Structure 1
């Protein structure tokens, strides 16, 4: 392996046999070296592939501004997450999470605590990511002997969610989380029920809502009302209460975001709402018997 870029004394960019960019890390790896020099493989401690060409440049800029230990911690957390998540993380997470952690550690050292307003929602909607983020706080504590607050676990979880979406920014992720929370609230108030968050129907509904919100964020959901199909009319007639609830959601989306829910989307929303609401009503009946 030869050095393609030098990010700092301990981190360089090279290429693998498939000519893919890889980041290579090791103590003193680039000391007194220049581009084109051979890498001492005995010093290599960690490597990872970069699929996006511009990430290494941005990473190099970031490493000039922050302690390398902060990048090492981010690398550990990302590797830990990759082993446990069933989806792929975008390369940019190496920059975004490293930058966030460095800022969070700096705030901690200054005695500044910034609460995460979405802590409750993140714990509720992104349980897998939040569990990984909690373990990440333990990694930080072990490496740096500092105990970051629970709010930081929520922030780390959001970065994992954001990386899953590949190409969305953090603002979009926050907007999606708020949208999902608002829609669930509409369903609860419409039916006057408490949803069983551990049920399979709730998890299906939640997954649908996440991608529903993502389509709006990506402008894929801003569709005009089309021709009413037979299925649309059938669902509207058969599940009147659930359809009325989907209409309330449409009204909320329109007032809040200036968008309209398409007829196709109303069909799917109605079916999910019907399923999860029926489950809760049946559970209540069993409790009263």
Structure 2
């Protein structure tokens, strides 16, 4: 590939074989050269391909302002997240997470440390993403020499969840609130404190998480199987009553009518958690 534009000494753009613009990163890749010349393959460290021209333009604008080390560490965190989670991430995470990490490092150096008010919930509701956040904090320390507080592992995890959902951050926060209140309803209904380390509790959280995701994307299960719902209501009347309270909460808060089948599945998971 040939250089299309030089952003700075370490970032250039080029056109791939399909004629799409890509951003190429490498130390010194833009130094002492000019547009039209071949890119030194040995200097290429990372090639970025974003889904839209608007996102690509935003990314290029961001790269002009940031230290190369911050860009590299963010790219490595995203690559790690993709590999261990084995899920598709919205390409805009290259913008949002890179900007967040750069700002977090800057804040830390200026002694401005923000606490994460939902860190406990993030650890429980998004366990896999939180582990990626912990990896990110350790990698930032090794690569940049800055030991960010554990709260940042939670913030990074939320950016990853947001990229998984392919939606705005406020939707991710809505999902978190839905899970949090769903758990609260069960705790208050049965006056119980479930074992958060148990497999049944984690399955309940996972079910609530995907229920919340379906609600916020409008992809609820088919409600045609009323027989299943009737059977569950007869077998587990208390749990089913509790699931109806969650259904009512979701309708009042998000104006989504949870189907009978979804309600029955909630009751099944609540029953397992109580065993």
The question of a shared fold, defined as TM-score above 0.5 by the shorter chain, is answered with yes
The correspondence of residues 59-208 of structure 1 with structure 2, limited to 5 A, is 59-166=59-166, 168-208=167-207
Which residue number corresponds to residue 217 of structure 2?
218
Contact 2:70 2:102 in 1 (8 A): yes
Contact 1:21 1:53 in 2 (8 A): no
Contact 1:186 1:249 in 2 (8 A): yes
1:103-141 CA distance string (max 9 Å, x none)? 112211221121111111011122222122112112222
Distance in 1 separating the partners of 2:205 and 2:154: 18
Deviation at 1:35, TM superposition (A): 4.2
Which residue number corresponds to residue 282 of structure 1?
none
**How large is the RMSD of aligned CA atoms in angstroms?**
2.5
Gaps of 5+ in 1: 280-289
Which residue number corresponds to residue 259 of structure 2?
262
Contact 2:228 2:261 in 1 (8 A): no
Deviation at 1:98, TM superposition (A): 0.7
Question: What is the TM-score normalised by the length of structure 1?
Answer: 0.84
Which residue number corresponds to residue 49 of structure 2?
50
1:178-199 CA distance string (max 9 Å, x none)? 2101101211222233323333
Contact 1:82 1:89 in 2 (8 A): yes
Deviation at 1:64, TM superposition (A): 2.2
Q: 1:201 to 1:13 in 2, by over 3 A?
A: farther
Distance in 2 separating the partners of 1:3 and 1:20: 13
Deviation at 1:18, TM superposition (A): 6.0
Instruction: Report SS of the residue matched to 2:24.
Output: strand
Q: Which of 249, 253, 274 is the matching residue for 1:252? A: 249
1:209-263 CA distance string (max 9 Å, x none)? 1111112222445x9x977822222222222111100111122223333333222
Distance in 1 separating the partners of 2:129 and 2:174: 18
Deviation at 1:22, TM superposition (A): 4.3
Q: 1:61 to 1:247 in 2, by over 3 A?
A: same
Instruction: Report SS of the residue matched to 2:29.
Output: coil
Distance in 2 separating the partners of 1:145 and 1:162: 27
Distance in 1 separating the partners of 2:225 and 2:83: 45
Instruction: Report SS of the residue matched to 2:46.
Output: strand
